[in-house]
């Protein structure tokens, strides 16, 4: 009986990653093949799962990669292993290999992206940077700018292949944006105006207090100069900022926890 063609052998071994389609053991030991390309329909009509008047060929469709032990079992207990079942096992096994390779590839890409991101963004220090708001904030509390400049438009980086990771990251950026909006906002009397609203082309009120200009830079932190604000303004800032920081910290902890669980080898 002729051997399967070289393309058929390549196809069979590569799609199964060199593993037995039943037990998953490798059929290769160093450079020796210790498994078989078993026939689903035997070459001889009298062989396992043989068909009268027909002989199974050496095509990829009629072969399944098995270890020696499983080859012996399926051929001896042929009633327990009909052709349809073997073909289904092969289909599922090859499908799983494909999914696994795809998953590993995407996982590695996300891991590389996170490692690169954390070179620029000191994510683990974020908690200490904002936990004393509105009275104190680190001048390094920034992810959006760095992300925008280096990563956002790079399709190999973002969105992450893991949609959950993308979701956590987007939430974090949004929360940081809201905090930034408040710090860079204005008061006109007791009315709060965001930077965005301030930039709209209309006459600015005369009595503007710019919030971020009231912070004093010292040792990497900006300290709020409380004396600039009246009681109502201070109350507003404190309550709004507390709300935003709490939301941020909640999402921040979710993000950190998710990375701890899913990307254990990340460098940060
Ligand atoms: Zn096996």
Picking from 101, 129, 153, the residue at the C-terminal end of a domain is 101
- In degrees and rounded to multiples of 5, residue 157 shows phi and psi of -105, -50
Please indicate, yes or no, if residue 110 is contained in any of the structural domains.
Answer: no
* Whether residue 252 sits in one domain with residue 156: yes
Are both 178 and 248 inside the same structural domain?
yes
**Which of 101, 135, 166 lies at the terminal end of a domain, its last residue?**
101
Q: What is the pLDDT of residues 150-188, one digit of tens each?
A: 888 888 899 999 999 999 999 999 999 999 888 888 888
Percent of the chain at pLDDT > 90 equals 60
pLDDT at position 204 is 67
Same domain, 252 and 163: yes
Same domain, 164 and 77: no
Q: 139 and 175: one domain? A: yes
Residue 134 pLDDT grade (very low, low, confident, very high; cuts 50, 70, 90): confident
When pLDDT is cut at 50, 70 and 90, the band that residue 1 belongs to is low
Distance 71 CA to ligand 1 centre (A): 7
pLDDT for the residue 215: 73
pLDDT greater than 90 at residue 248:
yes
Quick check: is 196 in a domain? yes
Ligand 1 centroid–CA 171 distance in Å is 47
Assigned domain for 112 exists: no
125 falls within a domain: yes
Give me the chain's average pLDDT, please: 91
Whether residue 185 is found in the same domain as residue 249: yes
**Residue 96 CA to ligand 1 centre (angstroms):** 16
Find the 5 Cα to ligand 1 centroid distance in Å.
Answer: 23
**What digits encode the pLDDT tens for the residues 51-108?**
887 778 999 999 999 999 999 999 999 899 999 999 999 999 999 999 999 999 999 9
The sheet carrying 191-193 orders its strands as: 191-193, 186-188, 208-210
Element holding 33 (H helix, E strand): strand 32-33
Q: pLDDT (tens digit, 9 = 90+) per residue, 184-220?
A: 888 888 899 888 888 787 766 677 777 776 777 788 8
Reported as a pLDDT band with limits 50, 70 and 90, residue 145 is confident
- Burial (0-12, 13-18, 19+ Cβ within 10 Å), 132: middle
Region 18-24: mean pLDDT is: 97
- Residue 161 near residue 110 (C-beta atoms within 8 A): yes
**CB 49, CB 82: distance < 8 Å:** yes
Residue 66 C-alpha to ligand 1 middle, in angstroms?
A: 5
- Same-domain check for residues 131 and 222: yes
Contact between residue 122 and residue 143 where contact means Cβ atoms under 8 Å apart: no
Residue 153: domain span: 121-262
Q: What is the pLDDT of residue 51?
A: 82
Distance in angstroms (rounded) separating the CA atoms of residues 158 and 149: 13
Q: Last residue of some domain: 71, 101, 131?
A: 101
Whether 132 and 97 map to the same domain: the answer is no
Q: CA 91, CA 15: separation in Å to the nearest integer?
A: 10
90 and 129 share one domain: no
DSSP 60-92: GGGEEEEEHHHHHHHHHTTTTS-HHHHHHHHHH
For residues 165 and 117, give the distance between their C-alpha atoms in angstroms, rounded to a whole number: 13
The answer to whether 246 and 237 are in contact (CB under 8 A) is: no
- Work out how many domains the chain is built from and give that number: 2
111 within some domain: no
DSSP state of 211: S
Q: What is the pTM of this model?
A: 0.77
Do residues 153 and 96 both lie within one domain?
A: no
Q: Say yes or no: 164 and 246 in one domain.
A: yes
Q: How far is the CA of 126 from the centre of ligand 1 (A)?
A: 51
Mean pLDDT of 124-137: 89
Largest Cα–Cα separation, the chain: 100
Do 58 and 171 belong together in one domain?
no
Could you tell me the two tokens for 28?
């290769």
């Amino acid at each position: 009986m002729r051997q399967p063609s070289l393309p058929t052998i390549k196809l069979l071994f590569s799609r199964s990653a060199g593993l037995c389609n039943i037990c998953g053991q490798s059929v290769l030991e160093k450079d020796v093949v210790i498994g078989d390309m078993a026939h689903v329909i035997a070459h001889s009509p009298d062989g396992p799962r043989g068909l009268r008047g027909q002989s199974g060929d050496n095509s990829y469709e009629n072969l399944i990669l098995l270890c020696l032990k499983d080859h012996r079992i399926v051929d001896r207990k042929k009633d327990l292993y009909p052709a349809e079942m073997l073909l289904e096992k092969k289909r599922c096994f090859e499908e799983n290999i494909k999914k696994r390779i795809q998953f590993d590839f995407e996982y590695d890409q996300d891991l590389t992206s996170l490692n690169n991101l954390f070179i620029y963004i000191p994510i683990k220090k974020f908690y200490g940077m904002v936990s004393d708001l509105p009275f104190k904030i680190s001048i390094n509390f920034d992810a959006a700018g760095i992300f925008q400049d280096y990563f956002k438009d790079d399709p190999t980086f973002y969105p992450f292949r893991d949609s959950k990771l993308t979701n956590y990251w987007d939430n974090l950026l949004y929360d940081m944006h809201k905090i930034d909006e408040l710090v860079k906002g204005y008061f006109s009397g007791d009315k709060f105006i965001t930077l965005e609203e301030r930039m709209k082309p209309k006459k600015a009120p005369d009595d503007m207090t710019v919030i971020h200009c009231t912070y004093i830079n010292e040792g990497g932190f900006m300290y709020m100069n409380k004396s600039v604000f009246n009681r109502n303004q201070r109350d507003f800032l404190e309550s709004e900022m507390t709300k935003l920081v709490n939301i941020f910290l909640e999402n921040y902890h979710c993000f950190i926890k998710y990375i701890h669980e899913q990307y254990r080898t990340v460098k940060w």
